[in-house]
Chains A and B, each alone.
Chain A
Amino acid sequence: MARWEGTLRKIDDYRWEIPASHKPGMRVPGLIYASEPMLEGIREEQAAEQVANVAFLPGIVGHSLAMPDIHWGYGFPIGGVAATRVDDGVVSPGGVGYDINCGVRLLRTNLRESEMRPRLEKLLAQFSVNIPSGLGSTGKIKVGKKEIDEILTQGARWAVKRGFGTKEDLEVCEEGGCLEGADADKVSVRAKERGLPQSGTLGSGNHFLEVQVVGEIYEPAVARGMGIDAVGQVLLLVHTGSRGLGHQVCDEYVRTLRDVMQRYQIEVPDRELACAPVKSPEGRDYLAAMACAANYAWANRQCITHWARECFMSVFGRSLRDIGLEMVYDVAHNIAKIETYEVEGRKTRLCVHRKGATRAFPAGHPDLPPRYRQTGQPVLIPGDMGRYSFLAVGAEGAIRESFGSVCHGAGRTKSRHAARKGVRDADVASELASRGILARAASRGGLAEESSAAYKDVAEVVEVCHLAGLCRKVVKAYPIGVVKG
């Protein structure tokens, strides 16, 4: 792949601008959050060109943004954020991606590492039995054709109603686990058919369940508010999305919107940037269908949470209350949301596309649950399975400049194919084991593809966001047990 040779104008140590003059058609400049040493890696692929392409979207305001975990995607870069005016701007399914509401959920426990270690292998084995994962796996929940519509419109609330988890879980979930505006009639029969057998499955690829141990606490008071108070405390991180249902919704709407772009006289430089005015029938339909897929994903993470809790209870032979497996938070990192920000001095309703980016509202934001109103929204930033993950909180800077958004993970540096070349799963597993990390994968090549060497160091990524004032680091946690889909 050719190196990207465009201009990156330094604004300060963490902000690099792609001027709107980079190519004709850009409506706003691009802005990449990165440290100087990261730039070399960013230039090695065409992700920066994708930032410039996103700046073509009608109605885009501020900058076409990319977080430091930026890497080359399709249409949008991964790590991309774009806000378009609801009144005269567009919505682009490519700005959300195929895995609508792919996201992460963090749970805390009362357990300490010393209690967890002796039972870890058993717990991971239990996860593999109790939580369907890998290619072709089907869910344990039998969902009827009518009930699927309830999942699509109620999200995690449906799951709680069915006995998977508690009402308290919903309070600490982005959007309460249910995005408004979902209209199940806007989701095709085919998408629903694809979703039916997969309700309550982890999926494959980079989706995972990870048992972690708190390593460092940067802000003890904030961490306490999240139920985290000691180094060595055990956490559980769940990463999955909307499975085939979301993929089908995206595919169908990319096609629909591409076919109507001409009618709306919209031109974009990449087919994956297909879009339609937010207020057009097609744009509204997409958002209604996207909300359904987002809700499906929240229901999915809620069911998986329930089964993970069952696994802990059976392995420890203790009650859930005793184990204290409670939710810290759940965030979407592939989604488009209607939110209000100040643009050129005026409160403006925007459609914020987050493609591999996490919402990061600061303290005092009215949309936060009471529990986090004083501290800010927890932001979950997983690293690769061999290193560490971060828990942060949204900061004021995110509202001022990144439409309430921050990074979502480490960001890949190596393609899956390259990562797998000459690397055996067993070698990756034994290298991890030598460092105290038990890892298993449902898919062959799954561990090699996800090895540390394939990813940026998430600490560098989070540091940039922290120093740029978009979020503040709260906790660093180390993986000790990983089940990859």
Chain B
Amino acid sequence: MKRFDVIEHTADTGVVAYGADLKEAFANLAWAMSSLMADVEAVEERVCREVEVKAGDCETLAVSWLNELLFLLDVEGLLFRRFEVAELTDTGLKARCYGEKLNPRRHNLKGGIKAATYHMLRVTREDDGHSIRVIFDV
């Protein structure tokens, strides 16, 4: 199954991430963001970080999840390649993220992402799969 698509947006970039269930869609969403910034395949699993976010609704939770990962990138230089979403409700998420410190020589870095925005934000739940659409400010 395809993990995500890139959406064309004039000034910015967006993604639609897919998953058989919502947990998988959240994991693929984070993976999509990592892959917009670097060559994720080159990232090794040297660090595991537990991430917990809370929000008022499922859409906001998606944005908060991504922005938490951007926070870890800015503050600790961590870039993740694998995400295990352990717990997920409409208002809370707990996940284990595997990756390592950013390395310009190995990770073939692309541009950074400033933030995940609420613009055109959508979580779709259907019988044949779930998807989350997010536009980034880049």
Contacts and interface: CB of A to CB of B under 8 A. Distances in A.
Interface of A: 1, 45, 47, 71-75, 78, 97-99, 134-136, 138, 190, 193-194, 196-198, 203-205, 243-244, 247-248, 250-251, 254-255, 258-259, 270-272, 274, 412-418, 442-446, 449, 485
Given A73-B11, A445-B110, 19 more contacts: A45-B10, A74-B12, A74-B119, A74-B120, A78-B11, A98-B137, A134-B109, A136-B104, A136-B109, A194-B74, A204-B111, A205-B114, A247-B115, A412-B11, A415-B11, A415-B12, A417-B8, A446-B110, A485-B111
Nearest to B38: A135
A413 B10 CA distance: 6
B9 A251 contact: no
A135 B37 contact: yes
Interface stretch (B19-27, B65-73, B88-96): B65-73
Nearest to A246: B114
B75 A205 contact: no
A74 B109 contact: no
Contacts of A445: 110-111
Interface in B63-119: 63-64, 67, 70-71, 73-75, 77, 79, 102, 104, 108-112, 114-115, 117-119
A350 B135 CA distance: 30
A68 to B, nearest CB: 15
Contact of B114 (A98, A417, A442, A443): A98
B128 to A, nearest CB: 25
A72 B119 CA distance: 11
Given A98-B117, A251-B67, A414 B111 contact: no
Given A194-B74, A205-B138, A135 B109 contact: yes
Given A136-B73, A136-B109, A205-B138, A72 B114 contact: no
A99 B121 CA distance: 20
Contacts of B109: 134-136, 442-444
Most chain B CB atoms below 10 A, which of A45, A74, A418:
A74
B6 interface: yes
Nearest to B39: A444
B35 interface: no
Interface of B: 6, 8-13, 37-38, 56, 60, 63-64, 67, 70-71, 73-75, 77, 79, 102, 104, 108-112, 114-115, 117-121, 135, 137-138
A197 B74 contact: yes
A415 B114 contact: no
B80 to A, nearest CB: 13
A65 to B, nearest CB: 18
B11 A71 contact: yes
A75 B73 CA distance: 25
Contact of A74 (B38, B60, B112, B137): B137
A349 B38 CA distance: 46
B114 A198 contact: no
Nearest to A441: B111
B8 A251 contact: no
A326 B74 CA distance: 32
A72 B60 CA distance: 22
A188 to B, nearest CB: 11
A270 B122 CA distance: 12
Nearest to B77: A136
B137 to A, nearest CB: 5
Nearest to B118: A271
Contacts of B112: 134-136, 203-205, 443
A445 to B, nearest CB: 5
Contacts of B118: 74-75, 254, 258, 271-272, 274
B111 A247 contact: no
B13 A244 contact: no
Contacts of B56: 259
Most chain B CB atoms below 10 A, which of A197, A274, A417, A449:
A417
Most chain B CB atoms below 10 A, which of A72, A98, A99, A258:
A98
A272 B12 CA distance: 14
B37 A97 contact: no
Nearest to B103: A136
Contacts of A271: 118-119, 121
A180 B54 CA distance: 34
Given A134-B109, A203-B112, A247-B70, A71 B75 contact: no
Contacts of B70: 244, 247
A197 B108 CA distance: 21
Contacts of A254: 118
A97 B116 CA distance: 12
A247 B12 CA distance: 15
A99 B120 CA distance: 19
A415 B9 contact: yes
A34 to B, nearest CB: 15
Given A135-B109, A135-B111, A247-B114, A416 B138 contact: yes
Top 7 nearest A-B pairs by Cβ distance? A74-B119, A244-B74, A271-B118, A136-B102, A204-B112, A135-B112, A415-B8
Nearest to A445: B110
